[in-house]
């Protein structure tokens, strides 16, 4: 869980530096808020957030994500997520096929 906390902090810091967020970052931010509301949800938004979060508080993260990948609302909220995922995976292919001796060059 600390990875999700750290990812949330990275998203906040990146947004603070560059005033930009991709859909991947919005998703990571949303997950960090769900997992650590005391650290990432403003007091003014807390009652509304708590009310919405009750509906899936005991749901495993895997089920939460599986349910939303096919949800039309999820696609409206994160319209570029699938496109970003394809681009990210393309960027990773050369890395995964690289030899350790080539990575640091």
| Alpha helix positions (H), the chain | 2-18, 23-35, 37-40, 46-53, 61-69, 72-77, 81-97, 100-103
Name the residue range of residue 12's domain.
Answer: 2-103
Residue with tokens 């509301």: 37
CB neighbour class for 34 (10 Å; exposed up to 12, middle 13-18, buried from 19): buried
Q: Give per-residue pLDDT as tens, 40-65.
A: 899 999 999 888 888 878 888 888 77
Whether this model's pTM surpasses 0.85: no
Q: How far is CA 65 from the centre of its chain?
A: 10
**pLDDT reading at 103 higher than 80:** no
Write the DSSP symbol of residue 20: -
| ∠ Cα 16 4 90 (to 5°) | 80
Quote the number of domains for the chain.
1
- In whole angstroms, give the CA distance from residue 63 to residue 71: 12
Q: Give per-residue pLDDT as tens, 74-93.
A: 888 889 988 888 887 776 76
């Amino acid at each position: 869980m600390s990875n999700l906390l750290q990812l949330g902090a990275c998203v906040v810091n990146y947004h603070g530096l560059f005033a930009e967020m991709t859909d991947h970052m919005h998703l990571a931010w949303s997950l960090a808020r769900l997992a650590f509301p005391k650290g990432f949800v403003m007091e003014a938004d807390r009652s509304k957030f708590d009310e919405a979060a009750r509906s899936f508080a005991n749901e495993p993260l895997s089920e939460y994500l599986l349910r939303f990948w096919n949800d039309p609302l999820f696609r409206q909220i994160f319209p570029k997520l699938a496109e970003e995922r394809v681009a990210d995976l393309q960027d990773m292919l050369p890395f995964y096929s690289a030899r350790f001796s080539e990575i640091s060059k």
